[in-house]
Amino acid sequence: MIVVALVSCLLFSLAITPFVIKFAVKIGAVDQPDFNRKVHQKVMPRIGGIAIYLSFLVGIMIIRPDNELLIPILIGSLVIILTGLLDDLFQLTPKIKLVGQSLAAAIVILGGIQVEFINLPFGGVLEFGVLSIPITVLWIIGITNAINFIDGLDGLSAGVSLIGIMTIGFMSLLMGDMFVLSISVILCGSILGFLPYNFYPAKIFMGDTGALFLGFMIAVVSLLGFKNVTVISLIIPVIILGVPISDTLFAIIRRKVNRQPISAPDRSHLHHCLLNLGYTHKQTVIVIYAISTLFGLIAIIFSQATIWGGIILIGVVILAIELFVESIGLIGKEYRPILKLIGGEKDK
């Protein structure tokens, strides 16, 4: 049944996306070029997320997962889809979008999805208590926006989301969690059918409609797969989503350093930096796909490691990320503390 759902979602998404393209153009749901922020140079339809969402619903109807958490997930996803669609149509303010995201998060939390405690690696349990709800809300909103932030090149956000969901699905298979596996497979099929229209040169963008939906679903599915376990296991979804999380984190740092609002757009994201280094549009997307796949493999290795092995691996990953960030100028061209230390350079 899972294979049937995968193929059905893929084919449905593949078939319906051309109609979504025509519908987007007809109602004026298009993305205009913006040379201060965006890479594309022509008007593009931008509500492709509708195709992904409808395909997701088709998969749900085929598999019909028997789990009490399904209803709050569906209601929350509907709220997030409407939020993204309204933003694509009317350019909502960040505060209004945050309200929509918070409402979607609240729905799944009321439905029973939240991180209540973690088992500490050297013994004992850390109860979150009253902090359980705000921690869960922050996770859902943070991941939702992280996926949205990297939606800057053709096929980038969709592909990175696909790789992250595939990793979560594979690990849920190892853990025997059929509900998470079912949701992951449905999402994978829906994205795979959409990608041929979204990969460079794109015929349609998924817009906030798709980016917010995928970010929300990844946040929720990762909570389902890794909640209430150990500190080590809690780190796994962070590794899986290493690209969007690190890009978002360094964007916040960069804007704080430059005394800009956190929500202020710029052309210094990971994909911009790679483009500035001379990579083509397609090459940049493929490089980021490769990095995302590497993070996924690291997460799988990490899940099988001992406590000390996991700690060492995390240390190596953090150092590698820092060196990469400095080498491509993700925070700023002058931010190179470790590279300067290694090279014996002195700050000017």
**Helix (H, G, I), strand (E, B), or coil: what is residue 126?**
strand
Per-residue pLDDT at 228: 47
- Give, in order, the Cα–Cα distances in Å from 273 to each of 146, 148, 196, 259, 320: 17, 18, 25, 20, 17
Mean pLDDT of 168-178: 88
Mean pLDDT of 271-282: 88
Query: Predicted confidence band at 66 (pLDDT cuts at 50, 70, 90)?
Result: confident
As a whole number of angstroms, the distance between CA 79 and CA 197 comes to: 25
Task: Using the predicted structure, report yes or no on whether residue 33 has a pLDDT greater than 70.
Answer: no
Mean pLDDT of 1-18: 95
Per-residue pLDDT at 123: 59
Task: Using the predicted structure, report yes or no on whether residue 101 has a pLDDT greater than 90.
Answer: yes
- Of 195, 166, 148, 221, give the one whose Cα is nearest residue 13: 195
Mean pLDDT of 165-193: 93
Top-confidence residue, 294 or 225? 294
Per-residue pLDDT at 302: 84
pTM recorded for the entire structure: 0.88
Query: Predicted confidence band at 84 (pLDDT cuts at 50, 70, 90)?
Result: very high
Top-confidence residue, 254 or 199? 199
Q: Which value, to the nearest 10 degrees, does the dihedral of the CA atoms of residues 90, 96, 101, 104 take? A: -90
Name the average pLDDT for the chain. 87
Peptide bond into 201 cis (omega under 30): yes
